[in-house]
């Protein structure tokens, strides 16, 4: 039995494919399911300044600005989970005024035209801005989902993160494609 398992693993390793790829065939998650998971996981690799929270028990609020592409996926992902011992709450809104208390803010592609205005408003506001729009990070967004080799990756604008007062883990940075602002 043990030998069979070894043999199986050995074959898998020799074939050069990751188990994830094999796995994907079995339970292939949708694009937004993956992005919802990532959105949640980013919090683990980001350090907010103490001023970003009113007190220690305060929740982490993930905001979705504009047209919500996740449906129930985001809610399912954060179901019953904590980050840095804080509960997670989702806040969906169309109004830029309502996102000041968010720690993570997903900016929907519906807001593409308004990006420069949004970033101008959120500069120095300790909000981790995440998007999935071409040129999102170059505009001034901190993390932007991209597609590479048929997989979800992300690019990071370190400068934007520094401007927002956030410290991103080097582990996260190792995985990301680093971009700079246009200007």
Partner 1 sequence: MSISIMALLLASVSFIWYEVKMSRQTMINELTILAEIIGNNSTAALTFDDPFAAEEILSALKYKKHIVAAFIFKPNNILFATYIRQKSEYKLPEEMNSYNPYFKDEFLYIIHPIILESENIGKVTLQYDLLEMNARLRQYAGIVIIVFLLSLLFIYLATSVLQHIISEPILNLVHIAKNVSTEKDYSLRAKKENNDELGLLIDGFNEMLSEIQARDQVLIKDQEELEKRVRERTKKLQKQIIERKRAEKEKEKVQAELLQAQKMEAIGILAGGIAHDFNNLLTAIQGCADVAMLELEKSHIVYRDLQEIQSASGRAADLTRQLLLFGRKQPLKYDLINLDQLIENLLKIFHRLIGEDIGISIDFEPDLWNVNADRGSMEQVIMNLVVNARDAMPDGGKLTLKTENIVLDKPAARLIPEAKPGKFVCFSVSDTGMGMDQETIRHIFEPFFTTKGVGKGTGLGLSVIYGIIQQHNGWIHVYSEPGQGSIFRVYLPAVFDKEEQSDIEKAGKKFPKGNGERILIVEDEEMVRSFTRKALVKNGYKVFTAANVNEAKRVFTSNNRDFELLFSDVVLPDGNGIELVDQILSEKPQIKVLLASGYTDKKSQWPLIKKRGFEFMQKPYDLGDLLRTLRGILNARTSLKKGVEK
Residues lying near partner 1 in the complex (CB under 8 A) are found at: 2, 6, 9, 12-13, 18-20, 23, 38, 41, 44-45, 83-84, 151, 153-154, 169, 171-172, 174-175
SS3 per-residue string spanning 87-138 = EEEEEEECCHHHHCCCCEEEECHHHHHHHHHHHHHHCCCCCEEEECCCCHHH
Nearer to partner 1, 18 or 109 (CB): 18
**Smallest gap from residue 47 Cβ to partner 1 (A):** 13
Nearer to partner 1, 174 or 182 (CB): 174
Q: What angle do CA 137, 172, 85 make, to 5 degrees?
A: 110
Nearer to partner 1, 158 or 172 (CB): 172
Nearer to partner 1, 29 or 165 (CB): 29
Nearer to partner 1, 38 or 58 (CB): 38
Both tokens of 79, joined, read: 């179901």
**Smallest gap from residue 20 Cβ to partner 1 (A):** 6
- Decide if 94 contacts 54 (C-beta within 8 A): no
**Smallest gap from residue 174 Cβ to partner 1 (A):** 6
Measured over the CA atoms of residue 46, residue 47, residue 51 and residue 55, the dihedral's sign is positive
**Smallest gap from residue 9 Cβ to partner 1 (A):** 6
**Smallest gap from residue 51 Cβ to partner 1 (A):** 22
- Whose structure tokens read 């898998």? 12
Helix (H) or strand (E) holding 60: strand 60-65
Dist CA 160 CA 167 (whole Å)? 11
User: What's phi and psi for 82, nearest 5 deg?
Assistant: -130, 155
Both tokens of 34, joined, read: 């993956």
**Smallest gap from residue 146 Cβ to partner 1 (A):** 13
Nearer to partner 1, 26 or 120 (CB): 26
């Amino acid at each position: 039995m043990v030998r069979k398992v070894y043999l199986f693993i050995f074959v898998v390793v020799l074939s050069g494919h990751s188990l994830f790829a094999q796995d994907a065939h079995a339970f292939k998650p949708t694009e937004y399911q993956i992005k919802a998971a990532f959105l949640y996981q980013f919090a683990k690799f980001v350090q907010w300044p103490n001023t970003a929270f009113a007190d220690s028990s305060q929740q982490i609020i993930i905001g979705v600005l504009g047209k919500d592409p996740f449906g129930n996926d985001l809610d399912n992902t954060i179901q019953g989970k904590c980050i840095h011992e804080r509960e997670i709450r989702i806040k969906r809104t169309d109004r830029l005024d309502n996102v000041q208390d968010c720690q993570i803010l997903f900016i929907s592609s519906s807001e593409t035209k308004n990006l420069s205005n949004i970033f101008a408003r959120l500069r120095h506001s300790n909000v981790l801005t995440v998007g999935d729009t071409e040129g999102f990070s170059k505009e001034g967004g901190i993390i932007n989902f991209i597609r590479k080799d048929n997989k979800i990756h992300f690019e990071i604008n370190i400068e934007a993160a520094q401007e927002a007062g956030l410290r991103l883990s080097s582990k996260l940075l190792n995985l990301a494609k680093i971009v700079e602002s246009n200007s």
